[in-house]
Structure 1
Amino acid sequence: MEHAVEKAVEATTSGLVPPPRTGAFSPFRYPVFRAIWIANLFSNLGGTLQGVGAAWLMTELTPSHQLVALVQASATVPIMLFGVFAGAIADNYDRRIVMLVAQVGMLVVSATLAGLAYAHLLTPALLLAFTLSVGIGTALNSPAWQASVRQQVEPREIPQAIALNSISFNIARSIGPALGGMLISIWDVSFAFAINAISYVGLIGVLLWWKPEARPVDRRPILPAVAVGIRFCAANGPLRRLLIRGFALGFSLAAYQALLPAVVSANVNGSELDFGLMLGLFGIGSIVAAPFTGSLRRKFGLEGILAIGAGMFVFALSLIAEVHDILYALPAAFVAGMAWVMILTTINTAVQLRSPEAILGRCLSIYQAVTFGGMALGSWAWGALADWKSLPFALHAGSIFLIVSFVLLRIVAPLPKLGEGVLKQA
């Protein structure tokens, strides 16, 4: 029996070098994880440059706060609409191939966007269409990428690997915005878009090099496969409560991300460099918080760490609603970044540890569809509220909604306690 278990573990981690002990950075001992992490860092950097460029370009194309907020929404709406189907695809097919198809598609779309921006042919509607197309690629890629972590490291390393992937994204967030602001001010947004297109090449190369052991696949038609995932998440109490909380938090957190370009441009009268600096400090805050999220989660539990993160986000929203000087807005960006990673990394890890391998892609895609769907709806709602009333009004409303929803859902949909519903990983 023991021999069979050892062989099963070897099959899932073949070619990997297991670390002698676990730690915050121990997944880097695995060559496959390390290579994908580095390539993904550069891809994330390119994506951040494109996000900064698209958001700032929209402020130049239109005075509408709602259209500016929809740039953020267009990146997350596809995850809400197509993410569940992407999860079924990730479970039905080789996850490496799914990621390759998504990366190549995003490269083509980003290169076309760069060409149109260089020719000054973009309109608000066309810009939203291209960011929506990149979002579709992200929706296809994300479940396969997150589920493939189990093929890159041993099961005991999964929480640390998830945290390190979050750090990769937030390193790009800390460097990319300032770099993007500088590139936009020196050249124009087309250069930022072009760099994003090039950034996909490295990850495509690593995925072509990686040859993971084939995993058993119970292939089903897409719609029945999706139904299996939805039924499991709906019937599983801990997962169901996590999804409810993820939606409410995503809706609230969207107020910061969606309205930040308008805040910097209108309230603070800042430049693209100021916008990049705000996003950079957001990323730095995320990097600082990520290594400590696991220990905080063990100390305070899921409910405790999310309460801390929500309180920090309320502070950030309230501060940027009132300031008119970039220097006073900077602390809000740093605190918001810390809160962001504490909240989303905690929920992501909790969902992964409670999802069976056979439907992991579907469970993760449902989580993403719900959470990022909340962000997309929130981006639209807070942008519309800002146009109707004002930016400060919408930001304060976001704070109030976050507080009220957190208190109510803590009673109606309490988060699972540590260990509740966690599956044993083979």
Structure 2
Amino acid sequence: MAQHTTGAWRAGIGPRSRQSFALLARSFRHRNFRLFFVGQFISLIGTWMQSVAVSWLVYRLTGSAMALGIVGFVTYLPVFVLGLWGGSLADRRDKRQLLVVTQVAAMGQALALAALTLTGAATVWYVGALAMLLGVVNAVDMPTRQAFVVEMVGKEDLHNAIALNSSMFNSARVLGPALAGLLVAAVGEGMCFLLNGVSYLAVIASLLLMRLPPPVARPPKEPMAAHIAAALRHAWGDRTMRAILSGLCLTSLFGASFMVVLPVMVDAVLGHGAQGLGFITAAMGVGSVAAALTLALRRESRGLGRIRVLAGVGFGVALIAFGLSRNFWLSLAFASVLGFCLILFFAAANTLLQLRSPDDLRGRIMALYAVTLVGMAPFGSLFAGTLASLVGAPATLVLAGAICALGVGALAATEPRATAEAASRAS
């Protein structure tokens, strides 16, 4: 009887599971994407280790929420100032070559930070200067990497590849912070920076091993300003694209920057140290991975506009709950909800923008995505750091969550046709 039941289960569930797995992993049939996924995953674990270690190092050196806000500001400001220039480079140059250059530069930044920290010479000014250097690198790397995805998998698997990239990014977000918390507590921040520097070798190797067709001949070069202006006109004239970018701008400015005050919240309010910070960040990563896998299992892009709006409002509500919590384990649960809603919101927006972007504008449109997503973060960092120093971290998170929930909801109410159009045109 038990044997018969097991056989029936395998017959009924097994094929469905295999079909779901094939749907989930269909981008892995592309060799270049497999190489990229493995190399990027290793590198991103190091990146997340460094992100947590930098926050803890600044907090240890200064004990100041304002200092955390300033370092966050200089980290992301170059993306805001130079992001469109980076997107223009991505549309004019060989994207793989650009990515190799950015990864080498980021590796140098991590190793310099490791040397300063391990020798005891690190100051908040050195950390800020190196953070700004990494921001310049990211201004080129982010739009180039986003636009490069379609060259690895084609448009047919683009939706799945973006979701798998999100799952990889956020799986690293689980492992990296947890490892960073353990390493910082055991041997200090410098080892996190050193391991991050070494991890860049994996993604550099994966890029060099790819087999790509010869680069497409570029059209005659127009002035950089005109090249960028063409993308701005296109994005502004597309009502749906304009609504998506506005929502990203709002959420990045008031919501995503809550990471700036997270060390204060974990240490001063929840009563945990570096390990607690690592686990809270990892819990967000768990929710983010779940969201990315949910998107990867979708067969089509229809309905992403509605998902984007619901996720944005849900993120704001979860941020309010996190700010009100005084229990570490409850905060862990809220952190996973934050990660789930945030990645749904960002990944849905990324997919919709990519599907609406003409091939010759893709790098610059992805630069606008980077500018609204990451480039607004420096101003959000200043907002969060300054407000937290005045009214405390919990009140700052509650206010930011309320602004996000109400703002995304208001945008959806004023742009109902644009949201519907996004869903239909992306299918």
Q: What TM-score, normalized by structure 1, do the two folds share?
A: 0.89
Partner of 1:228: 230
Distance 1:294 1:55, change over 3 A: same
Partner of 1:365: 367
**Residue correspondence of structure 1 range 149-188 to structure 2 within 5 A:** 149-188=149-188
Q: What do the CA deviations read for 1:26-45 (whole angstroms, capped 9, x no partner)? A: 00111110001100001111
- Picking from 356, 359, 381, the partner of 2:358 is 356
Return the offset for 1:423: 7.6
Residues 313 and 335 in structure 1, CA contact (< 8 A), matched pair in contact too: yes
Range with bigger deviation, 274-283 or 325-334? 325-334
1:381 is aligned to 2:383: yes
Q: Percent identity?
A: 26
Return the offset for 1:184: 0.8
Residues 43 and 199 in structure 2, CA contact (< 8 A), matched pair in contact too: yes
Residues 178 and 280 in structure 1, CA contact (< 8 A), matched pair in contact too: yes
Return the offset for 1:151: 1.2
Range with bigger deviation, 310-319 or 55-64? 310-319
The residue type paired with residue 390 of structure 1 is: G
Range with bigger deviation, 308-317 or 195-204? 308-317
Distance 1:311 1:238, change over 3 A: closer
- Picking from 295, 298, 311, the partner of 1:293 is 295
The residue type paired with residue 153 of structure 1 is: V
**Residue correspondence of structure 1 range 183-198 to structure 2 within 5 A:** 183-198=183-198
Return the offset for 1:93: 0.5
Return the offset for 1:75: 3.2
Q: Matched residue pairs, number? A: 405
Partner of 2:8: none
| SS of alignment partner, residue 207 of structure 1 | helix
Residues 297 and 305 in structure 1, CA contact (< 8 A), matched pair in contact too: no
Partner of 1:62: 62
> How far apart, CA to CA, are the structure 2 residues paired with 1:303 and 1:255?
24
The residue type paired with residue 78 of structure 1 is: P
Partner of 2:218: 217
Return the offset for 1:95: 0.5
| SS of alignment partner, residue 121 of structure 1 | coil
> How far apart, CA to CA, are the structure 1 residues paired with 2:378 and 2:419?
26
Q: What do the CA deviations read for 1:98-127 (whole angstroms, capped 9, x no partner)? A: 111111111111111110011121222221
Segments of structure 2 that go 5 or more residues without pairing to the other structure are 1-18
> How far apart, CA to CA, are the structure 2 residues paired with 1:401 and 1:371?
16
1:90 is aligned to 2:90: yes
> How far apart, CA to CA, are the structure 2 residues paired with 1:254 and 1:349?
19
> How far apart, CA to CA, are the structure 2 residues paired with 1:158 and 1:389?
44
> How far apart, CA to CA, are the structure 1 residues paired with 2:225 and 2:162?
28
| SS of alignment partner, residue 77 of structure 1 | helix
Segments of structure 1 that go 5 or more residues without pairing to the other structure are 1-18
Range with bigger deviation, 336-345 or 76-85? 76-85
Distance 1:180 1:126, change over 3 A: same
Q: What do the CA deviations read for 1:148-168 (whole angstroms, capped 9, x no partner)? A: 111111311000000111111
Q: What TM-score, normalized by structure 2, do the two folds share?
A: 0.89
Q: What do the CA deviations read for 1:253-301 (whole angstroms, capped 9, x no partner)? A: 2243222111012111211111111111111111111121366796983
The residue type paired with residue 238 of structure 1 is: T
Residues 302 and 418 in structure 1, CA contact (< 8 A), matched pair in contact too: no
Q: What do the CA deviations read for 1:367-405 (whole angstroms, capped 9, x no partner)? A: 211222233222211221111112121111112211221
Distance 1:346 1:309, change over 3 A: same
1:132 is aligned to 2:132: yes
- Picking from 303, 311, 319, the partner of 1:317 is 319
| SS of alignment partner, residue 314 of structure 2 | helix
The residue type paired with residue 264 of structure 1 is: V
> How far apart, CA to CA, are the structure 2 residues paired with 1:352 and 1:35?
22
Return the offset for 1:307: 3.5
